[in-house]
């Protein structure tokens, strides 16, 4: 296979999606100001809010526009792409409603689940995963057969259930790691490019070309948004922009040949931060779905790091983990995931201890 062909296969969709996103984002900023889609910290009293001036929301609009235009130009409109685009549109619509009305977190979870069900309904599931100890674990059984629209269809119960769980999880953990300027809009292109590079490893398989193209489109869409999101941010991605990122990365990991372990490593920091957040909230008697100021990026800010430094830190770690993931076999990926859990979990425990220590009253004067 000609390498120039593969390079063009990736670069042209990326450039177009970047251009659409870059042009549409300033227009979205103007629209957001006009219709009052603004996040004003003076009107909200929540510990997770760290910006100090009004910022437009609705960043999902230019990202979605980029995704739709580039996908319809470079990809065949089959049932899989149709399901992905419908899920993306639904995600951004819900995100815009949340940007305007601050939806209940449980309603957000429900809408994320509905979004995942859309893509599973068109046949995107996890039929197998690689066994770290060797071989493949098949998930295509048990099946239920139903007659629908004049034909027989099969539901792969375990494969479909895990796909829904995986997509909803990624949508939420990516959303949770979007708390400051430029953070998520830098992480997503790195993760998407990693998945595209995985697809290039089997250039003789044409079924992987659309995966590389969609990954390139995803990367370009968020790269075009990044200049307006990096500190000092002129627009926020909003719930639509962040959950759309998690949705696309989750689906890409499935389409790339069930590269779930690779995605877990590349998104290692958000993944472990998400697990830590759920455990911490439950242990302290709080709902795991209600936001707070306890994520890793909050802890780093408490240490005195600037927003720019925290965002770049996330980018660098994601890039390093992406390079590592591309050079590991299944067993090595398992060991890497375990190491990440221990290392990042230890850092989070340490930072939480420092935060608790600094918040204690000074008793040195009696």
> How many residues are given for the chain?
366
| pLDDT tens for each residue of 32-71 | 999 999 998 887 766 667 888 999 999 999 999 999 999 9
Which run of H or E residues covers position 187? Answer: helix 183-200
Please say whether the beta carbons of 27 and 58 come within 8 A.
no
Nearest to 87 by CA among 106, 60, 126: 60
| Whether residue 342 has pLDDT greater than 70 | yes
The neighbouring-strand residues paired with 130 are 136
Beta strand pairing call for 151-156 and 136-138 = unpaired
DSSP sequence for 237-292: -HHHHHHHHHHHHHHHHHHTTS-HHHHHHHTHHHHHHHHHHHHHHHHTT--TTS--
Q: Which own/partner pairs from 200-204 qualify as long-range (CB within 8 Å, at least 24 positions apart)? A: 200/6, 200/10, 203/1, 203/6, 204/1
Q: How many CB atoms lie within 10 A of CB 365?
A: 4
- Whether residue 151 has pLDDT greater than 70: no
Helix (H) or strand (E) holding 128: strand 128-130
Rounded to whole angstroms, how far apart are CA atoms 262 and 344?
A: 17
Q: Record the pTM.
A: 0.92
Asked if pLDDT for residue 126 goes beyond 60, the answer is yes
SS3 76: coil
CA–chain centroid gap for 48, Å, is 19
Mind listing the pLDDT tens digit for each residue in 160-218? Answer: 999 999 999 999 999 998 889 999 999 999 999 999 888 777 655 667 789 999 999 99
Cα gap 207→306, rounded to integer Å: 43
pLDDT given at position 148: 56
How far apart CA 227 and CA 5 sit, in angstroms, is: 29
- Write out pLDDT tens, residues 252-288: 999 987 678 889 999 999 999 999 889 888 988 888 8
* 145: DSSP letter: E
User: Are 91 and 67 a contacting pair, CB within 8 Å?
Assistant: no
Q: Establish whether 131 is an annotated binding residue.
A: no
CB 304 within 8 A of CB 207: no
> Tokens representing 270?
């958000």
> Counting beta carbons within 10 angstroms of the beta carbon of residue 121, is it exposed (0 to 12), middle (13 to 18) or buried (19 or more)?
middle
Name residue, tokens 């815009």: 96
């Amino acid at each position: 296979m000609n390498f120039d062909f593969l390079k063009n296969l990736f670069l042209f969709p990326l450039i177009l999606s970047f251009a659409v996103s870059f042009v549409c984002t300033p227009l979205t900023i103007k629209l957001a100001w006009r219709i009052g889609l603004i996040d004003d910290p003076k009107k909200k009293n929540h510990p997770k809010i760290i910006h100090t001036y009004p910022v437009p929301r609705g960043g999902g609009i230019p990202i979605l526009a980029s995704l739709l235009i580039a996908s319809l130009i470079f990809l065949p409109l089959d049932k899989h792409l149709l399901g992905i685009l419908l899920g993306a549109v639904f995600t951004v619509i819900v995100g815009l409603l949340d940007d305007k009305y601050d939806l209940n977190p449980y309603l957000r979870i429900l809408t994320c689940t509905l979004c995942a069900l859309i893509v599973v309904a068109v046949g995107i599931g996890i039929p197998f995963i690689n066994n770290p100890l060797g071989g493949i674990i098949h998930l295509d059984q048990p099946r239920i057969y139903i007659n629908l629209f004049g034909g027989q269809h099969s539901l792969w119960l375990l494969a479909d259930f895990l796909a829904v769980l995986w997509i909803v999880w990624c949508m939420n953990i990516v959303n949770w790691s979007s708390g400051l300027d430029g953070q998520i809009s830098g992480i997503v292109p790195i993760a998407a490019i990693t998945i595209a590079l995985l697809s290039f490893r089997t250039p003789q398989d044409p079924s992987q070309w659309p995966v590389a193209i969609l990954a390139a489109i995803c990367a370009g869409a968020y790269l075009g948004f990044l200049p307006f999101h990096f500190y000092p941010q002129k627009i926020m991605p909003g719930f639509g922009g962040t959950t759309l990122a998690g949705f696309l990365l989750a689906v890409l990991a499935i389409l790339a040949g069930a590269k779930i372990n690779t995605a877990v490593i590349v998104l290692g920091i958000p993944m472990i931060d998400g697990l830590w957040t759920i455990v911490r909230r439950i242990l302290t008697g709080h709902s795991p779905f209600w936001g707070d100021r306890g994520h890793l990026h909050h802890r780093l800010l408490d240490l005195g790091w600037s927003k720019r430094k925290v965002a770049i830190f996330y980018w660098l770690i994601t890039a390093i983990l992406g390079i590592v993931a591309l050079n590991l076999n299944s067993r090595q990926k398992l060991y890497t995931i375990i190491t990440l859990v221990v290392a990042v979990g230890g850092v989070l425990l340490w930072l939480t201890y420092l935060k608790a220590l600094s918040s204690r009253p000074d008793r040195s004067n009696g």
